[in-house]
Amino acid sequence: MDTFVLDFMVASLRIASPLFFGALGGILSERSGVFGVGIEGMLLAGAFGAAVGSFLTGQPALGVLASAACGALIACVIGFVAVRLGADQMVAGLALNIFVLGLTSYILRSVVGGGQAPVIQVPLLPVWPIPFLAEIPVIGPIIFRQQPLTYLGLIAIAPMTLLLFRTHVGLTLRAVGENPMAAFAAGAHPNRVRFLAVVSGGAIAGLGGAVLALQQVGTFTDGMTGGRGYLVLAALIVGRWMPFSTFLACLVFGAAEVLQLHLQSWSLPFSSYTAQMLPYLIALTVLVVLGRSSKLPAAIGVPYR
């Protein structure tokens, strides 16, 4: 196969992986009936935890753990305000995002940097080629020559699908998202289920931040997620809240991002700004084409009291 196409696909998977972690977290949250608008903030908190944790301890593994912890911690805010108290989920998510944007920037400057914006460089996680499998033509270099967290994301698809559709826990989770009253009648505690779903989703989304900080950028900058959390929301709708289809949707957005980078290197009659619109325009177009055919969980956005 053409090396250009090959490189393109490797890069697409690479760039799609933070989105995919965000999307897995979003699936848990939205399937239980809580909008994932706060995913953007959880990704950013995760990126912060990963970069700062890894920088301060010198241990990338601790950075990864910190990212999940930060994501979960931030998700607790949504769990309390939107689930426990039943506030508007959309607006609570947006509030959380701006709060995290400010908080990470503030802590970086005041606590880590002593008043100035510190430059923290952390080494990127290395590529782990899987012995033998990496030698398979075409598939090998695309799937089996990636960084560790990307494998984790790929491996997570199967257990996540099983959890949602083949276990009692998954059934309860989906029931709470479709009809919390009925789930309550069947003995579940809808708000407890939602809280747990949001917080564990936050931990997974936090890992997405680690992918961004430790596998792609190697540092933390203010607002470095740059709206990826919102693309995730579009990917969820396109993928109909199914792990594998959502993964494919994330891949499409990843590919759009890579295409955008390539467009910038070709001399075209417009500047890089127009190229950067590509992922957002694709997301909008796909949403418009899908229209009402993608059905949200029935009780999403409705607080349970």
Closer Cβ to other proteins, 101 or 130, answer by number:
101
What is the nearest approach in angstroms of other proteins to the Cβ of residue 231?
8
**Angle (nearest 5°) at CA 44 between 43 and 48:** 115
- The span from the CA of 211 to the CA of 231, in Å, is 16
Contact residue for other proteins among 81, 175, 199, 251 (CB under 8 A): 81
What is the nearest approach in angstroms of other proteins to the Cβ of residue 236?
10
CB atoms within 10 A of CB 159: 12
- The span from the CA of 120 to the CA of 113, in Å, is 9
Closest CA to 81 of 166, 169, 194, 170: 194
Q: Per CB under 8 A, which of residues 203..232 are in contact with other proteins?
A: 222, 227, 230
Closest CA to 83 of 34, 24, 41: 34
Closer Cβ to other proteins, 25 or 60, answer by number:
25
Rule CB under 8 A: say whether 111 interacts with other proteins: yes
- The span from the CA of 43 to the CA of 294, in Å, is 25
| Under 8 Å between Cβ of 45 and 75 | no
Token duo for residue 17:
């992986």
| Under 8 Å between Cβ of 26 and 247 | no
Contact residue for other proteins among 234, 238, 252, 256 (CB under 8 A): 234
Rule CB under 8 A: say whether 283 interacts with other proteins: yes
| Under 8 Å between Cβ of 226 and 42 | no
Segment holding 145, helix H or strand E? strand 145-146
Contact residue for other proteins among 131, 137, 187, 291 (CB under 8 A): 291
Rule CB under 8 A: say whether 45 interacts with other proteins: no
What is the nearest approach in angstroms of other proteins to the Cβ of residue 297?
13
What is the nearest approach in angstroms of other proteins to the Cβ of residue 120?
16
What is the nearest approach in angstroms of other proteins to the Cβ of residue 71?
16
What is the nearest approach in angstroms of other proteins to the Cβ of residue 239?
14
Rule CB under 8 A: say whether 85 interacts with other proteins: yes
Rule CB under 8 A: say whether 255 interacts with other proteins: no
Rule CB under 8 A: say whether 97 interacts with other proteins: yes
- Per-residue DSSP letters for 43-71? HHHHHHHHHHHHHHHS-HHHHHHHHHHHH
Residues binding other proteins (CB under 8 A)? 37, 77, 80-81, 85-88, 90-92, 94-103, 105-106, 109-111, 115, 222, 227, 230, 233-234, 237, 270-271, 273-274, 276-277, 280-281, 283-284, 287-288, 291-292, 303, 305
